[in-house]
Structure 1
Amino acid sequence: MGTTQLETVPEPKYWHLKTVLSEALDSEFAVGEILPNERELAARFGVARATLRQALEQLELEGRLQRRRGVGTAVAPPRVGVDVGSESGPRSWPGAPGDAWHTEDHEQAPAPAAVARLLDTGAGTPVHAVRRSRTTGDQQVAAEILYVPADVVPALPAGQDPADSMAQRAARARAVLRELHRLDLQGQDRTVELGSARAEDARRLDRLPGAPVLVVTTRYIADGRTAAVSVATYRADTCRLSFSDADALPLAG
């Protein structure tokens, strides 16, 4: 077989540097150790800072490095295994016994356009938004917003008081979950995408805006319609996701 055009393309400088840096991480640095600043690293390896940044970004994406607010870039520990599929069983509503999430907050607000299409709600129509978080050990690894149309849980009065305390909003969030549990869950489907942390995601996960994240979107079906949509954002630098209700498929290694 002849040489393809792709095979003649030289390896990008940042990719070669990534390999060199990875070897240095293994031999010279301990987990949690802060790397020298970009100027020092660029001088050591004889590259432009733009090339260095590309290599560091790739290593962060692969889970070898973590950027910390106000601290710098540190060597990352091994990724934490997070089982997405069997938190409370493949046919359970969020908040069922065994659920690994902590319910935090509630508000009524329009869902993002993509979620509104899944829910078949009109643009700008307020829905229940339940915020939850997931922690492994002492580290928060994921943040979730569960969107539920108001007519799916009609027992809950519409509207909210801006003066409600955090405890009141958390209680209202738990009430939304209890009402969902009254419905017959017919099925669910799930998608996973690599994304970048938005400002809110970054704040909740203690990441920098734009940091790599894994976005897991779950659609819950009841009474022949989409009754709820969960958008869960996982830290890509620390998480290795598996789906035990499928075949324990690892998504990030």
Structure 2
Amino acid sequence: MGTTQLETVPEPKYWHLRTVLSEALDSEFSVGEILPNERDLAARFGVARATLRQALEQLELEGRLQRRRGVGTTVAPPRVGVAVGTEQHAWPGAEGDAWEPADCATAAPPAAVAGMLETRKDEQVHTVRRSLVTNGQPVAAELLYVPLSSVPASAAADAASGAARAHAVLQGLRHLDLEGQDRAVELGSARAEDAKELDRLPGAPVLVVTTRFFARGRTAAVSVATYRADTCRLTFADSGGVEIHHDAS
């Protein structure tokens, strides 16, 4: 097999257009502004509409643009920071938490979560569903798994269902002394239920942040938060260490 000299490979037209469009977004458009239609944009830059679509799709993937049904293509707001390695520990639902509780049910968690919680695979736990919305756009969805031993079912009995029950479970957690937490981040693909909530197509790239909360010498809760990869960026505290794990295959 022969080798390819990269310097002899011409830049694809759509990639050059992507660069030109990116510069135009910085200088001519503001966040939330609707771009001209494809026909006008193609005419302005002297390219075929197929080339234009490739460039727009790339910018959407990078989080620079948003395509909304019935609205058109708009300039996306800045990416949301996802803190990793921070030394600030707090229970979900604490003051300043921007997540909105949506629902709460009692069910057996996925096997991997049961392993982290050290519960039986068929043992039911509180499952709190929350969402994070920025600038009117859903950017993340979370499932928070809380063993009944951390927050007994009786503590949430007065709130039969929905957001009220979720709030009751979160309030119960805050009565525990938080001893610490750790996080792991993985790149994944949006499952059908996540895609629907995040207004993405199934299989779209996402960041999956798994957080374990410790109290009473054990794991008191596990959060699995799914972030849109096109709207989020990772931020690291100065003292936050980064561990890189290689799966044997």
TM-score, normalised by the number of residues in structure 2: 0.72
Distance 2:104 2:8 in 1: 49
The aligned counterpart of 1:128 is 126
**Secondary structure of the structure 2 residue equivalent to 1:104:** strand
The aligned counterpart of 1:154 is 152
Asked if 2 retains the 8 angstrom alpha-carbon contact of 1:68 and 1:207, the reply is: no
Q: CA deviation at 1:76?
A: 4.2
Aligned length: 230
The aligned counterpart of 2:78 is 79
**CA distance 1:197–1:66, shift in 2 (3 Å):** farther
Asked if 1 retains the 8 angstrom alpha-carbon contact of 2:156 and 2:165, the reply is: no
Aligned ranges 1:58-137 → 2 under 5 Å: 58-69=58-69, 74=73, 76-82=75-81, 84=83, 90-137=88-135
For the pair 1:212 / 2:214, whether they are aligned, the reply is no
**Secondary structure of the structure 2 residue equivalent to 1:93:** coil
Match of 1:196 among 175, 189, 199: 189
Task: Give the letter for the 2:80 counterpart.
Answer: G
Q: For each residue in 1:145-199, what CA deviation from the matched residue of structure 2 results, as whole angstroms up to 9, or x when unmatched? A: 11111222225379999xx5xxx42121111112211222111001122222212
Q: CA deviation at 1:108?
A: 1.1
The aligned counterpart of 1:231 is 224
The aligned counterpart of 1:20 is 16
Distance 1:119 1:12 in 2: 52
**Structure 1: which 5+ residue stretches go unaligned?**
none
Identity %: 53
The aligned counterpart of 1:33 is 35
**CA distance 1:223–1:62, shift in 2 (3 Å):** same
Q: CA RMSD in A?
A: 3.9
**CA distance 1:60–1:176, shift in 2 (3 Å):** same
**Secondary structure of the structure 2 residue equivalent to 1:84:** strand
Task: Give the letter for the 2:18 counterpart.
Answer: S
